[in-house]
Structure 1
Amino acid sequence: MEPSSKWKKLTARVGYSAKTVMYVMLGAFILTSVVNTLNREKASQSHVFITLKQQPLGQVFLAILVVGLACYAFWRWLQIVITEKSNDDNIFVHFINKLFFFISGAFYLVAAYAGGKTLLEVRSSESSQDNEKRISEFLMQYEWGLLLVAAIGLCIIIFAIVQFKHAFTSDFLDKFSMSSLSVFVKRCIKITGRLGYTARGLVYCLVGCFFVIAALLSNPSEAGGLQKALEILMEQPFGPYLIAGVGVGFIMFGLYCALEARYRKVDE
């Protein structure tokens, strides 16, 4: 194996391992919200960082997580360069894939930055839901702001549809050399991937709708993230069961990321 290939594989594995920690902890916090509705406020990325930091050797583990998230962001941007257009994709699909890699990388770089602020004890009194409202408020100051907020919402909804597509078609299996894996590992990849992508699709669909509604009503308070999505789900019939399903799904996605860290092909 060439040195550059080893370097790419190490970067990808560290990044997927960091995603494993983040999604498993998020899923665990979501499950606790079923027992205590007040804990919905803790089902956020920032609480993952704070909780990890409070553990024995927490600063070390949080620093490793931050580095891992940064590695994943870099891996996503690296995929923009190394991913070649397949014969089955048209130019538009190829461009969308590149755009997805860029946005995904930016998202996890922001997550790494937030984790770094927690590590350095730069605290903010605002929740993640407040941040979404602030973004909407800022954009709506301008004439084109409403359109941009709506566009952000539509992009998130499209991303949610892609998650559901992955869950339905199991096309994520193409990321692995399935012929070289045991039957048990293959089954684990398929089950955790399907459940994980379904849970992500549901949450992203709700978040995207929040942004679209905020634009249609010219009301930035309608925007929201994971916490607001959990509140909406709790208000539905069988709400606690829906939230429990999302929590399990997030944990499954975390385990799927662990399988990616171990078995994913990174050279294509």
Structure 2
Amino acid sequence: MNTTAGQATESVRSGAQSLHENHVFRMFARVGYAVNGVIHILIGGIALSVAFGDGGDADQGGALAQVAEAPLGFALLWFLAGGLFALGLFQVLETVLVRGTDKDDWADRAKEGGKAIAYLAVGGSAATYALGGSPDSGDQAQSLSAQLLTSPGGVVLLVVLGLGVAAVGAYFVTKGIRQKFLDDLALTNGSRKKTATVLGVLGYVSKGVAIAIVGVLFVVAAVTSDTSEATGLDGALKTLAELPFGNVLLVVVAFGLAAYGVYCFIRARYPRS
């Protein structure tokens, strides 16, 4: 029975490897990186308008809403969704292809799996907009918080969720400061690498700060039992604007998110794998 299970595992891994190495599929996955870049540039622009007193949802939903309002927005949304789904599937394959059972291997699986979930979720949002819906990340976060708070041990679960999200934010900040994102690029020393380094540091740190704030707001919601405190990226950025010198900080983060978007284009053009 173990032999049969092992053969099935190797068969799945072999199929995943074949698709992972397919040139056309990898091209679509690279389009997904570029699509992710477009979304972050739009989010950065919305965040900048929020800093100067204008409205708008500074998150994926707000960015997708802008795309929907553009000429041929319906077709563009399906293009965005397709690219993100391809990238999400690519990350699923990366998860499947991780070998080994030690701590680092499981950490790699968790990292690649988390990326897959994130890309597939945003792709799903793009498809929802293309079908005429309008998902709200803030409402979804509050709904999830309310469900957790009313369940046994819900406060603890919500705190754990918040700490987990904050840890993801810390990961982005650390990756930016240590310039580990350069490991994802096939760039040698030169002007392109210097440009990618500047964009990557600013982008990863800014995105990490925004994600960490989302995690903190989940913890606050758990401690205060106020689900209105739990919100998505839009709420996190608007919370940042309410701090002393918050508008200045928000402008910096807005440019950082846009910088991350441009970095994603470089990631699409010069992938290491």
Is the pair's TM-score, using the shorter chain for normalization, greater than 0.5?
Answer: yes
2:77 paired residue number: 62
Determine whether 1:235 maps to 2:262. no
- Given that residues 25 and 86 in structure 2 are in contact (C-alpha distance below 8 angstroms), is that contact kept between their aligned partners in structure 1? no
1:27 paired residue number: 44
Identity %: 26
Distance across 2 between alignment mates of 1:76 and 1:129: 26
- Given that residues 169 and 212 in structure 2 are in contact (C-alpha distance below 8 angstroms), is that contact kept between their aligned partners in structure 1? yes
Distance across 1 between alignment mates of 2:67 and 2:126: 10
1:73 paired residue number: 88
Distance across 2 between alignment mates of 1:172 and 1:137: 36
Aligned residue for 2:266, secondary structure, equals helix
- Pick one of 138, 141, 146 that aligns with 1:132: 141
Determine whether 1:256 maps to 2:267. no
TM-score (norm 2): 0.87
Distance across 1 between alignment mates of 2:61 and 2:233: 12
Distance across 1 between alignment mates of 2:155 and 2:104: 27
Shift of 1:5: 4.2
Any gaps of 5 or more consecutive residues in structure 2?
A: 1-17
Shift of 1:245: 0.7
Shift of 1:84: 4.8
Q: Any residues of structure 2 matched to 1:112-151 within 5 Å, and which?
A: 112-123=123-134, 127-151=136-160
Shift of 1:252: 0.5
- RMSD of Structure 2 on Structure 1 (CA): 1.9
- Given that residues 61 and 134 in structure 2 are in contact (C-alpha distance below 8 angstroms), is that contact kept between their aligned partners in structure 1? no
Determine whether 1:169 maps to 2:178. yes
Shift of 1:44: 2.2
Distance across 1 between alignment mates of 2:105 and 2:223: 31
- Given that residues 196 and 249 in structure 1 are in contact (C-alpha distance below 8 angstroms), is that contact kept between their aligned partners in structure 2? yes
Shift of 1:21: 1.0
Shift of 1:248: 0.4
Distance across 2 between alignment mates of 1:234 and 1:59: 32
Determine whether 1:97 maps to 2:108. yes
Aligned residues: 255
TM-score (norm 1): 0.89
Aligned residue for 1:264, secondary structure, equals coil
Distance across 1 between alignment mates of 2:183 and 2:151: 43
2:120 paired residue number: 109
Distance across 1 between alignment mates of 2:184 and 2:86: 19
Distance across 1 between alignment mates of 2:265 and 2:49: 22
Report 1 or 2 for greater relative contact order, CA contacts < 8 Å, sequence distance ≥ 6: 1
